[in-house]
Amino acid sequence: MSPAATIPAAEAETRALEAADDLFYARGIGSVTMGEIRDRSGLSLRRLYATHPSKADLVAAWLRHRHETWMAGFRADLRVALDAGAAPVDAVFDALASWMEATGWRGCGFINTHALGHDLTDEHRRIIRDHKAALADELDALTPKGRALAVVVDGAIVQASIFGNRHPIDLARTAGHALVTSAGNEEAEQ
């Protein structure tokens, strides 16, 4: 049914994004060359540039793609924990912990990309901001003080990445519980 000659356009797109996801996330954008994207995707450079006119475009497409897949994965992990009877806050940190289990885990791709600073485009920054806003929305729908919880979550991700262990997740869980437990009486302290 597909009139394609060698590789259908849809599969070329998929391959490019998956190669980008593997490499950009694992090693950081700056140390991945287009040649490596070519090798891993199996596409020719020509085809790669036909789909994404520049590395910056590929990065933007990757960020959009990763937003979709990460949010879907996170929601799925969240649902598993909730269905198992976990309280909302625990479900959030259980989901984080299981994400961290993945081999090659290296923190949040969006945070890491944002840290590049100078050679990002406004579009990159916008996608990153939207991703973090979407996660905060998600948590806010799940628990009281969800936006503050999102801050705690990002702290846990960053520290877990720097220290190379899961202890920050436990610390963050404590903070999350405190936050939700105190939800009704924020006026208590002067």
Q: Which residues contact 115 (CB under 8 A, 6 or more apart)?
A: none
49 binds, among a copy of itself, DNA, none (CB under 5 to 8 A by kind): DNA
Interface with a copy of itself includes 139 (CB under 8 A)? no
Residue 84 contacts which entry, DNA, a copy of itself, none (Cβ below 5-8 A, type-dependent): none
Of 59-67, 74-82, 92-100, 116-124, the window that binds a copy of itself (rule: CB under 8 A) is: 116-124
Mark residues 23-42: x for contact with DNA by CB under 7 A, - for none.
Answer: --------xxxxx-------
Instruction: Give the residue, chosen from 16, 48, 63, 172, that forms a contact with a copy of itself under the rule CB under 8 A.
Output: 172
Secondary structure (H, E, C), 67-124 = HHHHHHHHHHHHHHHHHCCCCHHHHHHHHHHHHHHCCCCCCCHHHHHHCCHHHCCHHH
Hey, what amino acid is at 39?
D
32 vs 180 by CB, closer to DNA: 32
Q: Give the nearest distance from C-beta 186 to a copy of itself in angstroms.
A: 7
Under the binding rule (CB under 8 A), the answer on residue 163 touching a copy of itself is yes
Nearest one of 75, 135, 82 to 99, comparing CA atoms: 75
Query: CB of 55 within 8 A of CB of 34?
Result: yes
CB closer to DNA, 43 vs 63: 43
Residue partners of 8: CB distance under 8 A and separation at least 6:
2
Tokens 């990757």 sit at which residue?
62
71 binding a copy of itself? (CB under 8 A): no
What is d(CA 58, CA 52) in angstroms, rounded to the nearest whole number? Answer: 5
- Binding footprint of a copy of itself on the chain (CB under 8 A): 26-28, 30-31, 106-107, 110-119, 128-129, 132-133, 145, 147-156, 158-159, 161-164, 168, 171-172, 174-175, 177-179, 181-182, 186, 188-189
